[in-house]
Amino acid sequence: MVCHGKGAALLGFVLTLSLLAMGQDAADSRATERAACESGDAATCMAAASRALAGGRLGGEPLVAITLWRTICEAGHGPGCRAAGDAFAVGERVGLDYNRAVELYSKGCTVADGESCRTLGDLYVMGALGSVDGATAGLWYQAGCDHGDAGSCTAVALWMERGDGGAGGADKVRALFERACSMGHARGCTQLGIRLKVGDGVRRDHSAAAEQFRRGCRADEWDPEACREWGTYTLEGKVVPRDEAQGRLDVERACYAGDHLGCRLLSDHLRRSNLAEALIASERGCSLGDSPSCTRAERMRYRLSLQKP
């Protein structure tokens, strides 16, 4: 249907009113969301920011999302501070600005968001602010641990061991790893297990080490190194009951999660029973930069070539 004269004018007027109404609805919605953020309604505010980031044109509206995050941050919501800080630290949509990221992470840390403290510590360790500053990083890690962030507890323990300014002996370091592990941080379990295995600052205890590796491998966000170590113990069967199938599975998990030593161990385990699969593991280790795996892969390819009819 083609509109002429008054009909066309009326249609244009109606469309204009519709667009104005839509614009007013959007403005009203934004005002409501802003008010929710200012009042400290974290769930509503964070959901609104997520919608702003996902919707709209050209990959969403990051500036709207950041405005909402900063508003809830000022109301004392740490995750909002961290989300806004992440935007500036990554800089993918709003431009890289470490100074603004530091400001936001600092605010998040002061309102007891431990992850904000840890992320800020990471920036100092990476030298993102101009130079590496391990001493300052450790202070933020300590604050994060005090606020209950498990990753921060692992980080501050490593900080103390490096001697970047933290005061604490082996007992304190072990206590921090234990705390991190008990809160579900797999890397904390792994670090404690390593020290128990080799007797670094603590009495050597393979049974206790194996248990820490098991916990690190079975955590929700598991650690490949823990799986490699736990798999080694179950393959050997000297400290814990031998379970070849499960041990191989855990070592394989470690390998394919990027642990080159896990690939080397898996290849060693397989080469007598299945040379072709052992070669795959060695090639994987080689691709991860493990020179011994590269050498073994060359030898296995040669052996397999001799087996061909």
Q: What is the pLDDT of residues 7-33, one digit of tens each?
A: 455 555 544 554 444 455 555 666 777
CA distance to 228, 263, 272, 281, 303, per residue, from 287 (Å)? 18, 10, 22, 10, 20
The crossing angle, in degrees rounded to 10, of helices 224-236 and 260-270 is 30
To 10 degrees, what angle do helices 78-90 and 62-74 make? 140
Nearest alpha-carbon partner for 149 in 288, 103, 157: 157
221: left (phi over 0), alpha (psi -120 to 50) or beta: beta
pLDDT score, position 165: 56
pLDDT the model gives residue 187: 96
Residue 168 resides in a domain: no
* Residue 104 · residue 70 · CB < 8 Å: yes
pLDDT at 55 over 70: no
Would 95 be classed as within a structural domain? yes
Burial string for 66-105 (b: 16+ CB within 10 Å, else e) reads bbbbbbbbebbbbbbbbbbbbbbbeeeeeeeebebbbbbb
Q: What is the pLDDT of residue 167?
A: 60
What is the number of structural domains in the chain?
1
pLDDT at 1: 44
For residue 270, being part of any structural domain is answered with no
Question: What is the pLDDT confidence band of residue 61, given thresholds at 50, 70 and 90?
Answer: confident
pLDDT at 222 over 50: yes
Residue 238 included in any domain: no
* 83 located within any domain: yes
State the chain's mean pLDDT as an integer.
Answer: 87
Give this prediction's pTM.
0.79
Query: What is the rounded average pLDDT of the residues 257-265?
Result: 96
Q: Which domain holds residue 89?
A: 35-111
What integer is the mean pLDDT of 256-268? 96
Contacts of 240 (CB under 8 A, 6+ apart): 207, 210, 214, 233, 234
Q: Which of 115, 155, 116, 119 is nearest to 138 (CA)?
A: 155
Q: Which amino acid makes up residue 147?
A: H
User: What pLDDT does 6 receive?
Assistant: 52
Let me know if residue 58 belongs to a domain.
yes
Structure-token match 């508003």, residue found = 71
DSSP the chain: ----HHHHHHHHHHHHHHHHHHHHHHHHHHHHHHHHHHTT-HHHHHHHHHHHHHSSSSS--HHHHHHHHHHHHHTT-HHHHHHHHHHHHH-TTT---HHHHHHHHHHHHHTT-HHHHHHHHHHHHHTTTSS--HHHHHHHHHHHHHTT-HHHHHHHHHHHHHTSS----HHHHHHHHHHHHHTT-HHHHHHHHHHHHHTSSS---HHHHHHHHHHHHHSTT--HHHHHHHHHHHHH-SSS---HHHHHHHHHHHHHTT-HHHHHHHHHHHTTT-HHHHHHHHHHHHHTT-HHHHHHHHHHHHHHHHH--
pLDDT, tens only, 91-150: 777 788 999 999 999 999 999 999 999 999 999 999 888 888 888 999 999 999 999 999
Asked if the structure places residue 56 within a domain, the reply is yes
Indicate left, alpha or beta for 203 from its phi (over 0: left) and psi (-120 to 50: alpha): beta
Q: What average pLDDT does range 279-284 have in this prediction? A: 96
Quick check: is 60 in a domain?
yes
Task: At 269, list the tokens.
Answer: 């385990």
